[in-house]
Amino acid sequence: MSNSYTLFEGSVPLLISMPHNGEEIPADIAAIMTAKGREVADTDWYMDRLYAFAKELGAYILIPKYNRYVIDLNRDPDGVDLYPGANNTELCPTTAFDLLPLYQEGCAPTTEQITERVKNYWLPYHQALASTMQAIKTEFGQAVLLEAHSIRSHVPRFFQGQLPDFNFGNADGKSCAPELIATLADLDYAPYTMVCNGRFKGGYITRAFGQPSNNFHAVQLELSQHTYMNEQAMTYNETLALQVQPKLQALVKTLITFASTTTTSKNATD
């Protein structure tokens, strides 16, 4: 554990990263934010609670302390747009998903403040990602990363209509072995809907850490929040969560099996 993230050590070659799960905002930043900003409405709510079962399965889990409004851990630190030509949120967002301002007038983060946030929050998380993935690969021969995200089912800023329930992304095939994404696509998600590389193809972390030729495989799942939450109230819905968790458990077990089986086969032939 550090002062900006928590890492739960695991025993299998799977790391689950939840870069938008953090809810806190440092006091000096909160003081210059709007009420909208302090509400942190665009959090990937309750990911740690929803995936709590993964600890028992042996997965490594990495969770930040601070909210994406402070700095988006899933964006390029140089500020490069994730989806060129589309509506994007910045490395240090200045508007919420509904386009309302996050900062009081004249208080948006300066270049110097953004650089400081990269140093204090972005770099430690990414260093933890890199060192953990390398440690897993050293022990098991390869490492699999699941980027666990969620988002409201309707966000007109980013997509029209209702988002599918399970939205997988592997950077259009670049961030993991093709057989892995094919296996995930073949799982039974009914009665939920599922798409691969639709509106969400995987963020910066998936693209940066997914290097299948080097035995690093990364997949992002953007889960529609209406599958486990009361979206408007931003509260956890235990009944809904219990219904979707078996699908998530099957997903996590599949990732572990892929990593373990492939590693065993590889080591057997070395």
The model's pLDDT over 32-80, given as tens digits with 9 standing for 90+, comes to 999 999 999 999 999 999 999 999 999 999 999 999 999 999 999 986 6
Task: Quickly tell me which residue has 């098991």 as its tokens.
Answer: 140
What is the length of the chain? 270
The DSSP secondary-structure symbol of 211 reads B
Task: Output the pLDDT for position 266.
Answer: 44
Give the mean model confidence (pLDDT) for residues 19-38.
98
Task: Output the pLDDT for position 269.
Answer: 36
Average pLDDT, the chain: 93
Q: List the structure tokens of 104.
A: 């009081």
Residue 125 has φ and ψ, to the nearest 5°, of -65, -45
In angstroms, rounded to a whole number, what is the distance separating the alpha carbons of residues 17 and 210? 13
Q: Where are the domains of the chain?
A: 5-269
In angstroms, rounded to a whole number, what is the distance separating the alpha carbons of residues 220 and 171? 9
Give the mean model confidence (pLDDT) for residues 184-197.
97
Listed range (82-91, 166-175, 198-207, 229-238) with the worst mean pLDDT: 82-91
Q: List the structure tokens of 207.
A: 């693209």
Q: Indicate if the pLDDT at residue 87 is higher than 60.
A: no
HSE (side-chain half, CA atoms, 13 Å) at 254: 18
Task: Quickly tell me which residue has 């550090």 as its tokens.
Answer: 2
Task: Output the pLDDT for position 199.
Answer: 87
Q: Indicate if the pLDDT at residue 264 is higher than 50.
A: no
Task: Output the pLDDT for position 80.
Answer: 67
Pairing of strands 60-64, 14-17: parallel
Task: Output the pLDDT for position 81.
Answer: 64
Confidence of residue 261 (pLDDT cuts 50, 70, 90): confident
pLDDT per position as a tens digit, 204-232: 999 999 999 999 999 999 999 999 999 99
Query: How many C-beta atoms surround the C-beta of residue 1 within 10 A?
Result: 9
Give the mean model confidence (pLDDT) for residues 7-27.
98
What do you get for the CA distance between the two ends of the chain, in Å?
A: 35
Domain 5-269 has CATH 3.10.450.50: no
In angstroms, rounded to a whole number, what is the distance separating the alpha carbons of residues 129 and 17? 8
Q: List the structure tokens of 159.
A: 């997509």
Cβ contact 47:176 at 8 Å: no
Pairwise pLDDT comparison (225 vs 266), residue with the higher score: 225
At position 158, the amino acid (one-letter code) is F
Angle of CA points 181, 187, 193, to nearest 5°: 95
In angstroms, rounded to a whole number, what is the distance separating the alpha carbons of residues 40 and 70? 10
The CA-atom distances, in angstroms, between 226 and each of 20, 154, 233, 236, 238 are 17, 9, 11, 10, 12
Cβ contact 46:81 at 8 Å: no
Give the mean model confidence (pLDDT) for residues 27-34.
98
Q: Indicate if the pLDDT at residue 86 is higher than 70.
A: no
Residue 170 has φ and ψ, to the nearest 5°, of -135, 40
Q: Indicate if the pLDDT at residue 13 is higher than 90.
A: yes
Task: Output the pLDDT for position 89.
Answer: 78
Q: List the structure tokens of 32.
A: 């210059």
